[in-house]
Chain A
Amino acid sequence: MAKKLGKQTYVMDTPPTIAGFAAIGSKKEGEGPLGQYFDVINFDSTFSQKTWEKAESKLAHDTVELAVKKAGLSYQDIDCIFAGDLLNQCIGSTFGVRELGIPYLGIYGACSTMAEGLMLAAFLADGGGMQNIIASTASHFCTAERQYRFPLEYGGQRTPTSQWTVTGSGAAVVTAGGGAGPFIRAATVGTIEDKGIKDAANMGAAMAPAAAATIQQFFADTGTRPEDYDLILTGDLGQVGSDLLYELLLREDVDIKSRHTDCGLLIYDPDKQDVHAGASGCGCCASVLCSYILPSVVAGRLKKLLFIATGALLSPTSTQQGESIPSVAHLVYITSEPGQGV
């Protein structure tokens, strides 16, 4: 059973292992710098489906299927799946996994969903009586556009701070005790932060305070410093959000710049691909983690990783009603070596 450390951090007793993981992307992701690391790149972003929502569900389904297979397991071995996405009532996930017969727990954390799923899976694997748990999420550019912004063929101009929703998905199978790693050693549950940003085309600025709060809390709870980790990986802050994160943490005397990168800056090439401030979407950090990052942890190139996924908790309704954008960030500490404590 995980033990509480400080205010918001929980340290695993027997760190669960990530036994299998998979990432699927589409055309733009395949053309990006990380394209070669994805398990599957499907250049047809309809995924042979009739609607964009069905395409997203298919994406979610195929990624879960692949992750289970890569873990060497079958659906009967899975005790539970934590899944969520950006669509209303999370139909991307529920419709995607409805035929698998896996006990389902839906979660919503916007783009923080992957970290939320991973930490919940780790808690349940470490003393919750469950053996194999999946954390999965997906996003699709076209479903996000039509729900949050404009029709695809609408002639609008994107602002320089806007971010491009990833058409991609990541899924990880978390297994109790032992295994070869990567290991989930600890997790910090984030608080909802809102510094009054109202511009839905500037998610990075809205989410940076949440990331800063959670990162700062983790260091305070554990008594560690940024230099103790190989990589501090945030979810989808993009360029604007990353710059603001450095600034906010520097004001608290925490300098992460030399250790930090952001999934939203890795997945696309900002010079060649027209993505403005970077990438976003649940599938952004999930697919980057499960394609490019976790294999490096398995290979031991990355030994200590802090994975912080940030989510902007807005809806089209709240935006139209002029509300500001609350955000949350959850942190998962992943290592290549087994061990206890932080």
Chain B
Amino acid sequence: MSLTNQEYEELSKRYSKNSKAMMNIPKAFIIGGLICALGQGLIALYTALGVPEDLAPGACSMTLVLLSALLTGLGVYDNIAKHAGAGTLVPITGFANAMVSPALEFKSEGLILGVGAKMFAIAGPVIVYGLSASVLYGLVMVLLGL
């Protein structure tokens, strides 16, 4: 076969269907938006229940994490995510799903190196780079005397 790698890549692109972005993006928008609207409802609920205004968003996030974990355990979250894509990935629920699903999956490898370690296999980098970026911000802030 005389085809170069470059020629083959172009050929394979011609036969490989692209993701249906025109369907995926609206679906991600709607489902992601609904999760955030649900969050807004939770904030309103907690505020009405007397939770201080600055703590209500945190309580809302924790509730969404709990809900996502439950749906993941029941085997439902991935069925929604199949349609929602980034709509269920980007909200805090996606972070929770990324923690819960490997913990559940690798239970068969034991509680320590299975559940305990694999829990961070997908979501760990979010914590690592999020915290590191915040430390970097702190350093810059202090060094520049802001």
Contacts and interface: CB of A to CB of B under 8 A. Distances in A.
B12 A240 contact: yes
Interface string B126-142: 00000000000000000
A248 B12 contact: no
Given A151-B101, A151-B102, A157 B81 contact: yes
Contact of A160 (B8, B19, B101): B19
Interface in B1-40: 1, 3, 5-6, 8-9, 11-12, 15-20, 24
Using C-beta atoms within 8 Å of the partner chain, give the interface range for chain A: 35 or more
A202 B16 contact: yes
A213 B3 CA distance: 12
A247 B6 CA distance: 16
Given A248-B1, A252-B1, A160 B17 contact: yes
Given A161-B16, A205-B16, A213-B1, A155 B94 contact: yes
Contacts of B18: 160
A35 B139 CA distance: 63
A291 B61 CA distance: 51
Interface string A188-216: 00000101110000100100110011001
A296 interface: no
B20 to A, nearest CB: 7
Q: Does more than half of chain A's interface fall in helix, strand or loop, or is it mixed?
A: loop
B105 A151 contact: yes
B81 A209 contact: no
Contacts of B73: 153
B9 A197 contact: yes
Interface in A255-297: 277
Contact of A153 (B1, B11, B94, B104): B104
Contacts of A208: 12
A150 B11 CA distance: 29
Nearest to A52: B108
Contacts of A247: 11, 15
A201 to B, nearest CB: 10
Contacts of B102: 151, 154
A44 B137 CA distance: 52
A154 B8 contact: no
Contacts of B75: 153
B15 A240 contact: yes
Nearest to B103: A151
Contacts of A252: 1
Contacts of B101: 150-155
A153 B100 contact: yes
Nearest to A201: B16
A244 B15 contact: yes
Contacts of A50: 108
Contacts of B9: 195-197
Contact of A151 (B3, B82, B88, B106): B106
B31 to A, nearest CB: 11
A150 B122 contact: yes
B91 to A, nearest CB: 11
A227 interface: no
Contacts of B72: 153, 155
Interface of A: 50-53, 146, 150-161, 193, 195-197, 202, 205, 208-209, 212-213, 216, 240, 243-244, 247-248, 251-252, 277
6 contacts: A154-B122, A155-B89, A157-B24, A196-B5, A209-B3, A209-B8
Task: Give 6 nearest A-B pairs by CB, closest first.
Answer: A155-B81, A151-B105, A196-B5, A205-B12, A151-B101, A160-B17
Given A154-B78, A155-B82, A157-B85, 11 more contacts: A146-B106, A153-B75, A153-B104, A154-B97, A157-B24, A158-B82, A160-B16, A160-B17, A160-B19, A161-B17, A251-B3
